[in-house]
Amino acid sequence: MVSNFANPARFLALTRWALPIAAGLAVLLFAIGLPWALLFAPADYLQGESVRIMFVHVPAASWALSGYMALAGASFVHLIWQHALADVAARAIAPVGAVYAGLCLATGSLWGKPTWGTWWVWDGRLTSMLILFLSYLGYLALRAAIEDEKRAARLGAILALVGAVNVPIVHFSVEWWNTLHQPSSFLRAGGVAIDPSLLWPLLIMGLGYGALFAALCLAQMRAHVLEQAGKRGYAPGDSP
């Protein structure tokens, strides 16, 4: 069933309605989540107003990780089955994931200064997150450096899969090594450790980030499919 959407016409038909839904959902969720998070959610009793950085930082970190898993998954599908749309997906995911990873690092640094007294420490979580960011950039640089699209896709897929080794390291780094970064507040034995007054706006912001990620990826995929259709000289409604 998934292979059916390798046909440009079928893929464009699907995304013609899926893209506006994802974009509209992102706008709606941010319209609710941003005022709630930045204006109405209470300050933390220890961190004060600086805790509001969490509503930008945590979703960016979560979706940067999820995005890289999606990049590796799409790369694996393309590498094994030569699925054209999987490579298109990988190319679309990489720049969006890089922006999210960069936002995570920037906001983490802003949050670290008032919380830890320093902008940066070379601990497990921050270092592995920096490596994830560089993995995204490395993938983008490799794809841009090779003119042969088939060779670029194959080498990019291999690089993405190698970089995926870092994903569990990012996730479990706070458990494996001593770190200033706090452990997970969600997936823990004692249950969620965030007060509902902060948890709900955080969840809404997380969903907003996810919808925006999907909308940006679908938009880039559509643009690439239309570009390739133009290069090959057939209309999107025709069979490739």
- The percent of residues in the chain predicted with pLDDT above 70, rounded, is 89
Judged by DSSP in three states, 48 sits in strand
In a domain? residue 238: no
pLDDT over 80 (residue 220): yes
In a domain? residue 1: no
Please, what is the average pLDDT of the chain? 89
Q: Region 140-149: what's the mean pLDDT?
A: 96
Amino acid at 110: L
The structural domain count of the chain equals 1
Q: Which domain holds residue 118?
A: 7-42+52-184+192-232
pLDDT band of 179, cuts 50, 70, 90: confident
- The percent of residues in the chain predicted with pLDDT above 90, rounded, is 68
Taking the C-alpha atoms of 162, 164, 170 and 172 in order, what is their torsion angle to the nearest 10 degrees?
A: -110
In a domain? residue 177: yes
In a domain? residue 237: no
pLDDT over 90 (residue 228): no
Rounded Cα gap, residues 104 and 98, in angstroms: 10
> What pLDDT was estimated at residue 184?
66
Q: What is the CA radius of gyration of the chain?
A: 20
Task: Give the C-alpha distances (Å, rounded to integers) separating 180 from 15, 112, 150, 183, 230.
Answer: 43, 9, 43, 9, 52
Q: Region 121-140: what's the mean pLDDT?
A: 95
In a domain? residue 239: no
pLDDT band of 173, cuts 50, 70, 90: confident
Who has greater pLDDT, 103 or 175? 103
In a domain? residue 129: yes
> What pLDDT was estimated at residue 47?
84
In the chain, alpha helices (H): 8-35, 54-81, 84-116, 124-145, 149-163, 166-176, 196-232
The pLDDT tens digits of the residues spanning 198-207 come to: 999 999 999 9
Rounded Cα gap, residues 116 and 238, in angstroms: 58
Rounded Cα gap, residues 223 and 210, in angstroms: 20
The pLDDT tens digits of the residues spanning 18-47 come to: 999 999 999 999 999 999 999 999 998 778
In a domain? residue 221: yes
Q: Region 136-142: what's the mean pLDDT?
A: 98
In a domain? residue 159: yes
Q: What is the pTM of this model?
A: 0.92
> What pLDDT was estimated at residue 2?
47
